[in-house]
Structure 1
Amino acid sequence: MKNYFNQLPLSQKIEQLAKCRLMDTSEFEDGVSILKGKNIVIIGCGAQGLNQGLNMRDSGLNVSYALRQAAIDQKRDSYNNAISNEFKVGTFEAMIPKADMVLNLTPDKNHTDVVNKLMPLMKKDSILSYSHGFNIVEEGLTVRNDITVIMVAPKSPGSELREEYKRGFGVPTLIAVHPANNPHNNGLDLAKAYAVATGGHKAGVLESSFVAEVKSDLMGEQTILCGVLQTGSILSFNKMIENGIDPSYASKLIQFGWETITEALKHGGITNMMDRLNNAAKIEAFKISEELKAIMRPLFQKHMDDIMSGHFSSIMMEDWSNNDVNLLKWRAQTGETIFEKTPTTTDEISEQEFFDNGLLMVSFIRSGVELAFETMTSSGIIAESAYYESLHETPLIANLIAKNKLFEMNRIISDTAEYGCYLFDHACKPLLNDFFKTISNNHIGEKFLNKDKIDNSDLIKINE
């Protein structure tokens, strides 16, 4: 197999990278009708597989699960997830030949093996769906000509997808049709109905391409969504300990600070987040974030270049073939960091205190979001797509850290995201050594006090 993107003519690369359109709510008036009565079989019952299946069933669709025989015999988590939620479960051989639509929601590294097992079993003119296009774009898997290939990618972890659906809403969702596999020209209608079934139409749906989804998703998760949060967590915590801040307080400030700070980002963007600081702190956070951008910009660009060329995918797939030796080593190393091992104080930290004593964290968020967006758009990814993979998703990932620190973030995100996160983290930390020598307690751990005199021209520049 060859990288699909790298085989495209330049004009098609540009066209597919730039494909991203916010769809009108009127385009979803048919609801799930095209999928009514179809036998929908999901492969994989992890966070995305289970929660997408629950939403689709609650939307009136017929959903069941196909698992490997070993997963059933050994009653693995995937089997227990499906059975405990009263879904029908069977082997590939029992379930796939009857399926009208198959959802491949297994980890990226399993996709080629899974799809190659599925295709001989899938009936003619059936549908294959993904929630991430890595297998098509980076691995270049060719799917049987009669099969319609679509993608429906909720822009959140699976747990958040379910919670938003239960409260009558949804999460923004990206949909796409693989140009090489749309034999009946109904791929978009199928993807729209799938998005309705998971609740995405209530939060906004972007019609995109497999290429744009993969390239923007890889960039976002490696940098601001996971990489910056991991690097910022470990280095900021270590700095507070070095400066004499109580470890349990430092642990709580970091673990729950990202969630609180990015909640302001969610409701009003970077401007609203910065407005939570006093004027002097806002000016200092702006200055520091500009320093961070200057330091990290070449690294962001390197990640984008490696994603576009396929270099990132190739080295990650080498690790897959080597039994994830690097991924597992880096995961273990993260678990041994002092931040991960330090318990949090039981003392309350107020919402405003997270901002007042977390100026450096605000600076990391501003610099990371803006750098990710700028780097993606300069590479041909349309602004709407870059927005969803930077500013929009950052609060969702921050929520995972609040639940159980970096362990939870790296447990829930995809194996692809986790690998990219570690690559970024290991490269970024040395770059920030000199920068952190200038960081004091009033940047992280204690309040940056306001000043009697503020240069209004500085504030005007920041607020523009």
Structure 2
Amino acid sequence: MATRRWLDDQVSLDPLKDVKIAVIGYGIQGAAQASNMKDSGLNVTVGLRPNGKTWEKAVSEGHRVLKVDDAVKESELIHILIPDMEQEVTFKNEIAPNLTENKTISFSHGAAIHWRWIQPPQNIDVIMVAPKGPGQRVRELFLEGFGTPSLVAVHQDYTKKAWDKVLALAKSIGSTKPGVLETTFKEEVETDWFGEQVDLCGGVHQMILKSFETLVEAGYQPEIAYFECLHELKLIVDLIQKYGITGMYNRVSETARYGGLTRGKRVIDQSSKSKMKEVLEEIQSGHFANEWVTNYKKDKKSAFETMLLELENHEIEKVGKDLRKMMWPKENIT
């Protein structure tokens, strides 16, 4: 069965036209989505902790700002965009006591609901709009008259109007311009974490380090290894994103095409896929979620600070700081 999808002309903003919306959090994603909603004509209030770092920023960018509990009290739809690990406590102390029948809570990531860190009351709607891009890009594309694709899901449809609301919310941040796809909270969080761990962040990071180390240990200059193993990666990924994998191969040299097609499968082989399955099983079973929560509650900085420091001291990062200044001299890039 094909995945359900919606485009801009299939969706209306009317279900949210007179609805008071509270966006909880004003980080990169919260700032982008709140601003897009406001520019789309929706009635948005930003809910923040008093004296927090983002309060004045939200005000300076034209938003009405209230304390979290006050924003929730007066709003019908509460869009929760604070970090995953903060959601449980904030929901328990400031959001849940102010939820009444027929209200809606919304997320841009499925973790808190899927792993039951948050257990919402049965008499409200629970929805999700998950943009497939960082907040900065969500805002940039909206201002360009386009948008970032999103995944949409309904976990709880108490009012029987939850789908109308989630699609209108997606439209308000610009996502129906490229299109939105239906998912579930379970599918979104498990695939999102898998992609981050084995491909987009963890896998790519390790592939870059291991290829860089291989060249340097063989006696090649670190600067040359940096260009070949890290810098040029973006050029290839841009081709893949725009044209697909086959399209990328049709746009590189014949030598690169033959070498990639014949050697790539030797580097990332079935043993790599077996390890990917192990990582996926840890996500599906809840093992990773429990490990992450335990380490975060113990000391959120130490959960990854040691590993980041080790990475920062790697030769590729030292070489990169110098080369990035050469490539982007007018920007403060390190």
| TM-score, length of structure 1 as denominator length | 0.66
Change (3 A) 1:287 1:81: farther
How far the C-alpha of 1:245 sits from its partner, in A, is: 4.1
1:5 alignment partner in structure 2: none
2:248 alignment partner in structure 1: 273
- Preserved contact between residue 47 and residue 159 of structure 1 (Cα < 8 Å): yes
Q: In structure 2, how many angstroms separate the alpha carbons of the residues matched to 1:267 and 1:110?
A: 36
Give the SS at the match of 1:169: coil
Identity level (%): 28
Whether 2:66 is the aligned partner of 1:66: answer no
For 1:91, the aligned partner's letter is: K
2:60 alignment partner in structure 1: 84
- Preserved contact between residue 153 and residue 182 of structure 2 (Cα < 8 Å): yes
- Which residues of 2 match residues 64-463 of structure 1 at below 5 A? 64-69=45-50, 72=51, 75-76=52-53, 78-117=54-93, 118-139=95-116, 141-178=118-155, 181-294=156-269, 295-324=271-300, 325-342=302-319, 343-344=322-323
Q: In structure 2, how many angstroms separate the alpha carbons of the residues matched to 1:41 and 1:348?
A: 42
For 1:27, the aligned partner's letter is: Q
For 2:312, the aligned partner's letter is: G
How far the C-alpha of 1:136 sits from its partner, in A, is: 0.8
1:441 alignment partner in structure 2: none
Structure 2 regions of 5+ residues with no counterpart? none
Change (3 A) 1:326 1:261: same
1:374 alignment partner in structure 2: none
2:26 alignment partner in structure 1: 45
- Preserved contact between residue 23 and residue 205 of structure 1 (Cα < 8 Å): yes
- Preserved contact between residue 19 and residue 207 of structure 1 (Cα < 8 Å): no
- Preserved contact between residue 59 and residue 197 of structure 1 (Cα < 8 Å): yes
Q: In structure 1, how many angstroms separate the alpha carbons of the residues matched to 2:184 and 2:268?
A: 29
1:27 alignment partner in structure 2: 10
Q: In structure 1, how many angstroms separate the alpha carbons of the residues matched to 2:190 and 2:245?
A: 24
Q: In structure 2, how many angstroms separate the alpha carbons of the residues matched to 1:330 and 1:191?
A: 38
How far the C-alpha of 1:26 sits from its partner, in A, is: 4.4
Give the SS at the match of 1:201: coil
How far the C-alpha of 1:39 sits from its partner, in A, is: 1.6
How far the C-alpha of 1:94 sits from its partner, in A, is: 2.5
Change (3 A) 1:44 1:150: same
Q: In structure 1, how many angstroms separate the alpha carbons of the residues matched to 2:261 and 2:203?
A: 17
How far the C-alpha of 1:140 sits from its partner, in A, is: 5.0
Change (3 A) 1:162 1:252: farther
Q: In structure 2, how many angstroms separate the alpha carbons of the residues matched to 1:115 and 1:307?
A: 24
- Preserved contact between residue 248 and residue 345 of structure 1 (Cα < 8 Å): no
Q: Higher strand fraction: Structure 1 or Structure 2?
A: 2
Q: In structure 2, how many angstroms separate the alpha carbons of the residues matched to 1:158 and 1:21?
A: 24
For 1:344, the aligned partner's letter is: L
How far the C-alpha of 1:64 sits from its partner, in A, is: 1.8
Structure 1 regions of 5+ residues with no counterpart? 1-17, 350-402, 406-464
- Preserved contact between residue 19 and residue 208 of structure 1 (Cα < 8 Å): no
Q: In structure 2, how many angstroms separate the alpha carbons of the residues matched to 1:192 and 1:59?
A: 14
Matched positions, count:
327
Task: Identify which of structures 1 and 2 has the higher relative contact order when contacts are C-alpha pairs closer than 8 Å and 6+ apart.
Answer: 1
Deviates more, 1:283-292 or 1:205-214: 283-292
- Preserved contact between residue 99 and residue 123 of structure 1 (Cα < 8 Å): no
How far the C-alpha of 1:164 sits from its partner, in A, is: 1.0
Q: In structure 1, how many angstroms separate the alpha carbons of the residues matched to 2:67 and 2:30?
A: 16
1:427 alignment partner in structure 2: none
Change (3 A) 1:322 1:163: same
Give the SS at the match of 2:238: helix
Q: In structure 2, how many angstroms separate the alpha carbons of the residues matched to 1:19 and 1:302?
A: 28
How far the C-alpha of 1:279 sits from its partner, in A, is: 2.3
For 1:265, the aligned partner's letter is: I
Q: In structure 2, how many angstroms separate the alpha carbons of the residues matched to 1:66 and 1:338?
A: 43
Change (3 A) 1:95 1:24: closer
What is the root-mean-square deviation of aligned Cα atoms in Å?
Answer: 2.4
How far the C-alpha of 1:277 sits from its partner, in A, is: 2.9
Q: In structure 2, how many angstroms separate the alpha carbons of the residues matched to 1:147 and 1:345?
A: 50
- Preserved contact between residue 101 and residue 128 of structure 1 (Cα < 8 Å): yes
For 1:22, the aligned partner's letter is: R
Q: In structure 1, how many angstroms separate the alpha carbons of the residues matched to 2:2 and 2:249?
A: 32
- Preserved contact between residue 8 and residue 171 of structure 2 (Cα < 8 Å): no
